[in-house]
Chain A
Amino acid sequence: MTLTRDKKGVAGKAPYKVIGTRPLRPDGADKVTGKAVYGADVHLPAMLYGAMLRSPHAHARISSIDTSEAERVPGVKAVVTAADLPVIQDILTDLGEGVVNLRYTSNNVLAHDKVLYHGHAVAAVAATSTAIAEEAVKLIKVEYDLLPPVLDVLEAMKDDAPIILEDLRTTELGEKREGQTNIASHIQHRRGDLEQGFAAADIIVEREFRTGTVHQGYIEPHSAVGLYNDDGHVTVWCSTQGAFGIRNQVSELLKLPVSDVTVIPTEIGGGFGGKLGVYLEPVVALLSKKAGHRPVKMTMNRTEVLQATGPTSASYIRVKMGATRDGKLTAAEAYLAYDAGAFPGSPVGSAAVVILAPYKLDHLLIDGYDVIVNKPRSAAYRAPGGTNAAYASEAVIDELAKIIGMDPLEFRLKNAVTEGDRRADGPVYARIGFVETLHAAQEHPHYRAPLEGKHRGRGVASGFWNNWGGRSSVSASINPDGSVNLLEGSPDIGGTRASIAMQLAETMEIAYEDVHPRVVDTDSVGYNDATGGSRTTFGTGWAAYEVGLKLIDEMKRQAADLLEVDLESIAYENGIFSSNGDSLGFKEIAERIDESGHPVVASASVHPEEFGPGFGTHIVDVEVDPETGKVEILRYTAVQDVGKAIHPSYVEGQLHGGVAQGVGWALNEEYVYDDEGHLLNASFLDYRIPTALDLPMIDTVLVEVANPGHPFGVRGVGETPIVPPAGAVANAIYDAIGVRMTTLPMSPGTILEALWAQEES
Chain B
Amino acid sequence: MANYSTNEFKGGLKIMLDGDPCSILENEFVKPGKGQAFNRVKIRNLKTGRVIERTFKSGESVEGADVLDLEMQYLYSDGEFWYFMHPDTFEQLSADAVAIGDQAKWLKEQDACQLTLWNGTPLSVTAPNFVELTITETDPGLKGDTSGSGGKPATLETGAVVRVPLFVQIGEVIRVDTRTGEYVSRVK
A binds B: no
